[in-house]
């Protein structure tokens, strides 16, 4: 796999994620929005942001594994959080995320607040890209 995650000196250095991902070879894996449901499609963490983020990362790990990869292959994540989650609670996201991603070479990332997600009890959803 030839992937370079970096922040060039011409862009702001933001902690916790890379600004650029350069892929020169490998198999691109696109992962649909992962939601806080378990393998039996049961909702996990109703009203509990941390539990929902944890479940989403667990689901993402299973998707990566099914494609022959792991979190080390993750190059991009898009995070969607309902606007009712406070900034203070959202800060827990980074603590949970850092248990899964390579924090020394983190994927490029976007975090977006939205009015709501597809289901009214979802607080968090994430889609992702990996290169294997």
pLDDT in tens, 21-67: 889 899 999 999 999 999 999 999 999 999 999 999 999 999 999 99
| pTM listed for this prediction | 0.91
pLDDT at 2: 87
Quote the CA–CA distance of 17 and 104 in Å, as a whole number: 9
Element containing residue 22 per DSSP (H, E): strand 20-25
Q: What's the CATH number for 2-131?
A: 3.30.1330.40
Cα separation, 36 vs 82, whole angstroms = 13
Q: Does an H or E element contain 73, and which?
A: none
Q: Is residue 65 classed exposed, middle or buried when 0-12, 13-18 and 19+ CB atoms within 10 A define those classes?
A: exposed
Tens of pLDDT along 77-129? 999 999 999 999 999 999 999 999 999 989 999 999 999 999 999 999 999 99
Question: Smallest Cα–Cα separation from 3: which of 21, 19, 16?
Answer: 21
Beta strands in 73-121 (DSSP E): 74-82, 108-114
* pLDDT for the residue 38: 97
Locate the domains of the chain by residue range. 2-131
- Number of residues that this document lists for the chain: 132
The pLDDT value recorded for residue 4 is 87
* pLDDT greater than 90 at residue 15: no
pLDDT for residue 1? 54
| Residue 18 in tokens | 């890379």
DSSP 18: B
Q: What is the mean pLDDT of residues 9-26?
A: 86
Q: How many CB atoms lie within 10 A of CB 85?
A: 17
Per-residue model confidence (pLDDT) at position 32? 97
Q: What is the pLDDT of residue 17?
A: 86
Residues 65 and 74: beta-carbon distance below 8 Å: no
């Amino acid at each position: 796999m030839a992937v370079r995650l970096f922040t060039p000196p011409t862009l702001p250095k933001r902690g916790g994620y890379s600004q650029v991902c350069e892929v020169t070879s490998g198999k691109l894996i696109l992962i649909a929005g992962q939601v806080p449901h378990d393998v039996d499609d049961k909702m996990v963490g109703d009203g509990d942001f941390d539990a929902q983020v944890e479940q989403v990362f667990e689901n993402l790990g299973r998707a990566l594994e099914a494609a022959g990869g792991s979190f080390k292959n993750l190059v991009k994540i898009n995070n969607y959080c309902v606007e009712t989650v406070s900034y203070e609670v959202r800060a827990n996201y980074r603590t949970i995320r850092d248990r899964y991603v390579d924090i020394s070479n983190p994927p490029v990332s976007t975090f977006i607040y939205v009015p709501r997600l597809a289901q009214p009890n979802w607080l968090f959803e994430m889609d992702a890209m990996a290169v294997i």
